[in-house]
A and B are shown apart, each in its own frame.
Chain A
Amino acid sequence: MPEIKNLSYIQAVNHALRWSLETVPNTVVFGEDVAVPGGPFGATKNLHRDFGVDRVFDLPISETAFLGMALGSAMTGLRPIAEIMYSDFLFVAMDQVVNQIANIRYTSNGKWGAPLVIRTQQGSSPGACAQHSKSIEAYLAHTPGLRVVCPTTPMEAYQAIRTAVVSDDPVFVVESRMLYPQKGEVQLDAELWPMGGARVVRPGADATIVAWSRTMTAALEAGEQLAARGVDAEVVDLRWIAPLDVETVADSVAKTGRLVIAHDAPGTGGFGGELAARVGERCFGRLRAPIARVTGIDAPLPAAPALQDVALPSADRIAGAVLETMSA
């Protein structure tokens, strides 16, 4: 009998970390407020109690130092899992990410490696200021050497972390704070999933919607709205930003002839632009309408909910974009 539990996203994260500490030798978990407090969102609840201070420990508010520590310890035998509390805080430590962690395997000609995991969570929420609301995947995608995953369901989160922990590459697991309370079935004894791969969540024939992270919720809701209007949209969860599974998206677009890409991050320089280019290269002859993007505004994110409502992609806006591609 498979061991299936109904867990919230954040509980699934906690289970994945527990599995890592139990199963993968030399894993350590560190960050701000992760040990005694159990994590600001509960991701590391009880891990300090059960695995001890040598393996699960709190650190000063020094992201640069502890991401550097993650790298140095990964190079020398540990498998660190570091937590960056809000993805916005990563920027104080970007030297260690971009100039150090991402480089070392290449610049050492493969003699060093950086088998580490950096967990963080991203996205806006009501009242969140512009320093607690960024969606950062494009910044990471622009740096060769990193792996990046944006899980959207409890099972995805559980598997993404486990895949990341056994990988010999540095992996960013970019979780979604808004999705943390959402529940779903998690098979705790499932086989590990391979790294990479998009997933068709809602099959359809008329148009393709690709999203990831929090925006998947709006994309799926848009799919339902469109169905009610007789438009059969296929919704694809991109899941992994790196490695990127263009095939699954291109296969879908080859079928539907229409593509709408939705993400919370600003449109300019956003990952949707890269994806549009890649799909365009492969599917130019099959496209029946220009590729459309529905993204966060090109502005720092406002805190007031009344402003946030128009700052981020909604199901209405995504559905509207699909209908426009239908009339093109």
Chain B
Amino acid sequence: MSELEELYRRMLVIRRFEEELAEVKKLGEVPGSIHLCIGQEAIPVGVSALLLPDDYVTATYRGHGWAIERGSDLAGLFGEIMGRASSVAGGRAASPYLSDASVGFIGENSIVGAGVPIALGAALSCDRLGGGRVSVVSIGDGAMNQGNVHEALNMAAVLALPLVVVVENNGYSEMVRIEDMVRVTNLAERGAAYGIPAETVDGNDPVVVARAAAVAIERARTGGGPSIIEARTQRLVGHYSGDAQHYRPAGEVAAAREVEPLVRARAALLEAGRDAAELDAIAAGVDREIQDALAAARLLPLPDPTTVMEHVYA
């Protein structure tokens, strides 16, 4: 399997997981809101391709893709989001705040930007406890306007910690255009203010993302300190489930669908000589994996109400 083919398959896992999740939500099996990363899959897949099992990942409420890439159990993830007694977090976290210590997934965060100081702490452990490990944190473009991110970026630079900050710039700070919320063209320009190397890359191409991540992660592993990668992408769905996206200009999403990562990766694979049947077989395999995971999740029990006070304290 070629590099792109594997990246394509992994992006498909995230895409199919979330498409299925949206269906399950419509069926009423998901309490609460979900924030899908449909259209942004190349970023967690491209970055995670370079990560090792002992590394740490922190994400946002749009973080299902990162959890999947970390290796969190798919049935556990479905079950967690469906409010069941999942192996991931026992139904205590749900879609926007799940974490999984068993795979070094520090977790999602529903407070915008708050994951960056926490990921900074994981980077401190990586530095002080040794082993050349790194801490990766994903945030959205809107988070670049939070004070917690500003503080943490400066501190990461001052302490030269192995932190890789991935800014998934999907053009929207929740429901407003990021270009109306900042006065720089590229968010990577902010890196200069902290003395942190930063670059803007095509976030819809997992190979490009992986190439940028390779540089940043190698820098972190070898004591070179933090990096910022701004990955440009587009959300193909709403900010949250049920978001009608009336704030987006007509045709924007349709145009984005022409250049989304799966469409591009499939076209590139076909151009490289793969035949469509091969790619369809990959998709069918992914689909089975997702269906099996969902079926397993539906068999998970609901959390036992008598455990509601467990794990408040050690």
Q: Do A and B come from one complex?
A: yes
B200 CB–A CB distance under 8 Å: no
- CA of A29 to CA of B129, assembled, Å: 15
Contacts A72-B118, A76-B56, A109-B89 hold; do A62 and B129 have CB atoms under 8 A apart?
Answer: no
- CB-CB under 8 A from B101, the residues of chain A are 75, 108, 111-112
Nearest-neighbor residue (CB-CB) of B108 within chain A: A107
- CB-CB under 8 A from A59, the residues of chain B are 155, 158
> Is A75's CB under 8 angstroms from B148's CB?
no
- CB-CB under 8 A from B90, the residues of chain A are 109
- Using a CB-CB cutoff of 8 Å, which residues 54-72 of chain A contact chain B? 54-55, 57, 59-60, 62, 64-72
A127 CB–B CB distance under 8 Å: no
Nearest-neighbor residue (CB-CB) of B101 within chain A: A111
> Is A105's CB under 8 angstroms from B148's CB?
no
- CA of A192 to CA of B147, assembled, Å: 39
Q: Among the listed stretches B27-35, B119-127, B264-272, which one makes contact with chain A, having 4 or more residues with CB under 8 Å of it? A: B119-127
- CA of A33 to CA of B37, assembled, Å: 42
> Is B128's CB under 8 angstroms from A28's CB?
yes
Nearest-neighbor residue (CB-CB) of A243 within chain B: B313
- Using a CB-CB cutoff of 8 Å, which residues 26-79 of chain A contact chain B? 26, 28, 54-55, 57, 59-60, 62, 64-78
Nearest-neighbor residue (CB-CB) of B58 within chain A: A72
> Is A76's CB under 8 angstroms from B125's CB?
yes
Contacts A26-B129, A65-B120, A145-B313 hold; do A107 and B89 have CB atoms under 8 A apart?
Answer: yes
A110 CB–B CB distance under 8 Å: yes
- CB-CB under 8 A from A64, the residues of chain B are 117, 147-148, 151-152
Q: How many residues of A contact B (CB 8 A)?
A: 45
A-B CB contacts (within 8 Å), total count = 154
- CA of A67 to CA of B151, assembled, Å: 11
- Using a CB-CB cutoff of 8 Å, which residues 202-217 of chain B contact chain A? none
- CB-CB under 8 A from B93, the residues of chain A are 107-109
> Is A65's CB under 8 angstroms from B152's CB?
yes
A167 CB–B CB distance under 8 Å: yes
How many interface residues does chain B have, given as a range? 35 or more
> Is A68's CB under 8 angstroms from B118's CB?
yes
> Is A72's CB under 8 angstroms from B312's CB?
no
A254 nearest CB across to chain B (Å): 27
> Is B314's CB under 8 angstroms from A69's CB?
no
A144 CB–B CB distance under 8 Å: yes
> Is B314's CB under 8 angstroms from A113's CB?
yes
- CA of A144 to CA of B308, assembled, Å: 13
Partner of B99 from the list A80, A95, A111 (CB cut-off 8 Å) is A111
Partner of B314 from the list A71, A76, A99, A167 (CB cut-off 8 Å) is A167
A309 CB–B CB distance under 8 Å: no
A175 CB–B CB distance under 8 Å: no
B311 CB–A CB distance under 8 Å: yes
Partner of A111 from the list B102, B123, B129 (CB cut-off 8 Å) is B102
B147 nearest CB across to chain A (Å): 7
A103 nearest CB across to chain B (Å): 8
- CB-CB under 8 A from B122, the residues of chain A are 72-73, 75-76
Contact indicator per residue, chain A 74-118, by CB within 8 Å of chain B (1) or not (0): 111110100000000000000110011000111111111101000
A169 CB–B CB distance under 8 Å: yes
> Is A60's CB under 8 angstroms from B151's CB?
yes
> Is B311's CB under 8 angstroms from A110's CB?
yes
> Is B99's CB under 8 angstroms from A68's CB?
no
- CA of A62 to CA of B117, assembled, Å: 10
> Is A77's CB under 8 angstroms from B114's CB?
no
Partner of A77 from the list B117, B119, B125, B135 (CB cut-off 8 Å) is B125
- Using a CB-CB cutoff of 8 Å, which residues 175-211 of chain A contact chain B? none
- CA of A76 to CA of B124, assembled, Å: 9
- CA of A140 to CA of B89, assembled, Å: 25
- CA of A75 to CA of B135, assembled, Å: 12
- CB-CB under 8 A from A107, the residues of chain B are 89, 92-93, 97, 99, 107
- CA of A113 to CA of B106, assembled, Å: 11
- CB-CB under 8 A from B314, the residues of chain A are 105, 113, 115, 167-169
> Is A72's CB under 8 angstroms from B120's CB?
yes
B291 CB–A CB distance under 8 Å: no
- CA of A41 to CA of B152, assembled, Å: 26
Contacts A69-B121, A76-B56 hold; do A104 and B114 have CB atoms under 8 A apart?
Answer: no
- CB-CB under 8 A from A110, the residues of chain B are 310-311
B154 CB–A CB distance under 8 Å: yes
- CA of A306 to CA of B124, assembled, Å: 47
A70 nearest CB across to chain B (Å): 6
A98 nearest CB across to chain B (Å): 10
- CA of A57 to CA of B109, assembled, Å: 28
Interface centre among A66, A68, A115 (most CB of B within 10 A): A68
B100 CB–A CB distance under 8 Å: yes
Nearest-neighbor residue (CB-CB) of B148 within chain A: A64
- CB-CB under 8 A from B125, the residues of chain A are 72-73, 76-78
Contacts A95-B111, A110-B310, A111-B100 hold; do A67 and B117 have CB atoms under 8 A apart?
Answer: yes
The 6 closest A-B pairs by CB, nearest first: A72-B121, A68-B117, A109-B90, A65-B151, A168-B314, A62-B151
- A: residues with CB less than 8 A from B are 26, 28, 54-55, 57, 59-60, 62, 64-78, 80, 95-96, 99-100, 104-113, 115, 144-145, 147, 167-169
